[in-house]
C-alpha cells in the first residue's frame, strides 16, 4: 500500500497579529509550524503503515523553508518527502494549490500506485477546507472529509469504511480505494517521534519538484490561476466581558430566574 500525506507549513496563529494601519498580516518574527490537523494525518498514516506495511510519502507546496514541515513528517517515520516549490506557485489559492498537489500525486502514482491520500481537514491559516476535496475532485477519487475514525481498511476488497464527524453526530461512510481522507484531531493521539527518526529527519533532504518536474500549465499556477481575491483583512472588534450572575452554585433557581429576566429585558427571548 502506498499512502501520500499532504502537509502544510502555516504561521503559528497564536502569534499572528494584524497591522492596524495596513490591515495586513504581520508575519515578521512569527514562527512557522506544521498545520496541526496535518500532523494527525501523518500519525494516522504511520498507524496504517504499522498495520499493513505501507510506504508513506509526504508532500508539501511552499517556499524552500517549507521543507521543515517535511522533516517533521520524517521524524514521525514517513519514508519519503517531496517539496513542491517554484516561484510560479506564489500567490496560489486553493484552486491552484489543489492542481499542483494533484499533479504531484499523479506523478507519484506513476512510480507506485497511490491507494490513500490523507490531509488535515483544513489549514489553520486559511480555514477553507477546500484543498483536500479539490485534490480528490481532480484525481477523480472518492473524498471522505472530517474523518474521526477509520473503521476498517480492506486491501483485498479495495474498500475503506470511516466515521465522519458531523454536528452532534457521526456518519458512517464506505468508499472504494483509492480514496482521499481529510481528518480531524479526534482520529488519533499523537505519539512522540523516536530518536532514530529524529536523527534521520535532521539529516534528511527532501526531493524538490518544480513546475517543469510536474509539467504544469503556467496559466493554472499562482495568481494567474487563482480566481480568489482577498478584499480586506481586519481584526475583529474586541468584545466586552460577559456578566456573571452571582449565587448560581448556592441557589441555581434564583440565578436562573434572574437570567431569564435579563434575557426578557434585552428582548433575546419573548415575555409570555
Please answer whether residues 132 and 119 qualify as being in contact, where contact means their C-beta atoms are separated by less than 8 angstroms.
Answer: yes
Question: Domain check: are 86 and 33 in the same one?
Answer: yes
* CATH number of 150's domain: 3.40.50.620
Alpha helices (H) along 76-149: 94-111, 131-139
Please answer whether residues 154 and 179 qualify as being in contact, where contact means their C-beta atoms are separated by less than 8 angstroms.
Answer: no
* Residue 12 falls inside a structural domain: yes
Question: Domain check: are 178 and 113 in the same one?
Answer: yes
Residue with cell 513542491: 84
Q: What is the spatial distance between Cα 219 and Cα 25, in angstroms, rounded to a whole number?
A: 27
* Residue 148 falls inside a structural domain: yes
Q: What is the spatial distance between Cα 176 and Cα 193, in angstroms, rounded to a whole number?
A: 31
Using only the alpha carbons of the chain, give its radius of gyration.
23
Q: What is the spatial distance between Cα 82 and Cα 104, in angstroms, rounded to a whole number?
A: 9
Question: Domain check: are 259 and 131 in the same one?
Answer: no
Question: Domain check: are 149 and 243 in the same one?
Answer: no
Which helix or strand (DSSP H or E) is residue 71 part of?
Answer: helix 67-75
Question: Domain check: are 258 and 202 in the same one?
Answer: no
pLDDT at 18: 73
Please answer whether residues 29 and 66 qualify as being in contact, where contact means their C-beta atoms are separated by less than 8 angstroms.
Answer: no
**Contacting residues for 50 by C-beta, under 8 A, at least 6 apart:** none
Ordered per-residue pLDDT tens for the chain, 272 residues: 999 999 999 988 777 777 777 666 676 677 889 999 999 999 999 999 999 999 999 999 999 999 999 999 999 999 999 999 999 998 899 999 999 999 999 999 999 999 999 999 999 888 899 999 999 999 999 999 999 999 999 999 999 999 999 988 999 999 999 999 999 999 999 999 999 999 999 999 999 999 999 999 999 999 889 998 877 777 778 888 888 888 888 889 999 999 999 999 988 888 77
Q: What is the spatial distance between Cα 191 and Cα 45, in angstroms, rounded to a whole number?
A: 13
Q: Which of 196, 128, 61, 124 is nearest to 70 (CA)?
A: 61
pLDDT at 27: 65
* Residue 232 falls inside a structural domain: no
Q: Which domain holds residue 264?
A: 239-271
pLDDT at 202: 95
In Å, what is the CA distance from 218 to each residue of 85, 96, 212, 238?
14, 10, 10, 43
pLDDT at 22: 64
* Residue 230 falls inside a structural domain: no
Question: Domain check: are 107 and 190 in the same one?
Answer: yes
pLDDT at 24: 64
Other CB atoms within a 10 A radius of the CB of residue 271 amount to: 9
pTM over 0.75: yes
The secondary structure of 23-56 as a DSSP string is --EE-TT--EEE-HHHHHHHHHHHHHHHHH--EE
* Residue 233 falls inside a structural domain: no
Q: Which of 195, 188, 208 is nearest to 49 (CA)?
A: 188
Question: Domain check: are 113 and 176 in the same one?
Answer: yes
The domain total for the chain is 2
Other CB atoms within a 10 A radius of the CB of residue 6 amount to: 29
Question: Domain check: are 259 and 182 in the same one?
Answer: no
Question: Domain check: are 154 and 53 in the same one?
Answer: yes
Question: Domain check: are 169 and 265 in the same one?
Answer: no
Q: Which of 182, 208, 173 is nearest to 98 (CA)?
A: 182
Residue with cell 473503521: 151
Question: Domain check: are 215 and 258 in the same one?
Answer: no
Q: What is the spatial distance between Cα 97 and Cα 53, in angstroms, rounded to a whole number?
A: 30
The secondary structure of 149-179 as a DSSP string is EEEEEETTTTEEEEEEEETTEEEEEEEESSE
Question: Domain check: are 152 and 259 in the same one?
Answer: no
Amino acid at each position: 500500500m502506498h499512502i501520500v500525506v499532504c502537509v502544510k507549513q502555516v504561521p503559528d496563529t497564536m502569534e499572528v497579529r494584524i497591522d492596524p494601519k495596513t490591515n495586513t498580516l504581520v508575519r515578521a518574527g512569527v514562527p512557522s509550524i506544521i498545520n496541526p490537523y496535518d500532523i494527525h494525518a501523518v500519525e494516522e498514516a504511520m498507524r496504517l503503515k504499522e498495520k499493513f506495511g505501507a510506504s508513506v510519502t509526504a508532500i508539501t507546496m511552499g517556499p524552500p523553508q517549507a521543507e521543515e514541515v517535511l522533516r517533521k513528517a520524517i521524524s514521525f517515520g514517513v519514508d519519503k518527502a517531496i517539496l513542491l516549490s517554484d516561484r510560479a506557485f506564489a500567490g496560489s489559492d486553493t484552486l491552484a494549490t489543489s492542481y499542483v498537489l494533484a499533479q504531484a500525486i499523479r506523478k507519484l502514482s506513476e512510480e507506485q500506485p497511490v491507494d490513500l491520500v490523507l490531509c488535515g481537514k483544513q489549514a489553520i491559516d486559511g480555514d477553507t477546507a477546500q484543498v483536500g476535496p479539490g485534490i480528490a475532485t481532480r484525481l477523480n477519487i472518492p473524498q471522505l472529509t472530517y474523518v474521526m475514525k477509520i473503521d476498517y481498511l480492506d486491501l483485498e476488497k479495495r474498500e475503506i469504511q470511516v466515521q465522519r464527524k458531523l454536528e452532534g453526530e457521526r456518519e458512517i461512510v464506505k468508499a472504494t480505494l483509492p480514496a482521499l481522507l481529510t481528518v480531524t484531531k479526534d482520529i488519533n493521539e499523537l505519539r512522540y517521534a523516536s530518536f532514530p527518526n529524529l536523527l534521520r529527519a535532521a539529516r534528511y533532504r527532501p526531493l524538490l519538484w518544480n513546475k517543469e518536474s510536474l509539467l504544469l500549465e503556467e496559466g493554472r499556477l499562482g495568481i494567474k490561476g487563482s480566481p480568489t481575491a482577498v478584499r480586506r483583512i481586519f481584526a475583529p472588534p474586541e468584545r466586552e466581558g460577559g456578566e456573571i450572575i452571582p449565587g448560581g452554585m448556592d441557589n441555581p433557581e434564583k440565578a436562573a430566574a434572574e437570567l431569564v429576566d435579563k434575557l426578557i429585558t434585552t428582548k433575546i427571548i419573548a415575555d409570555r
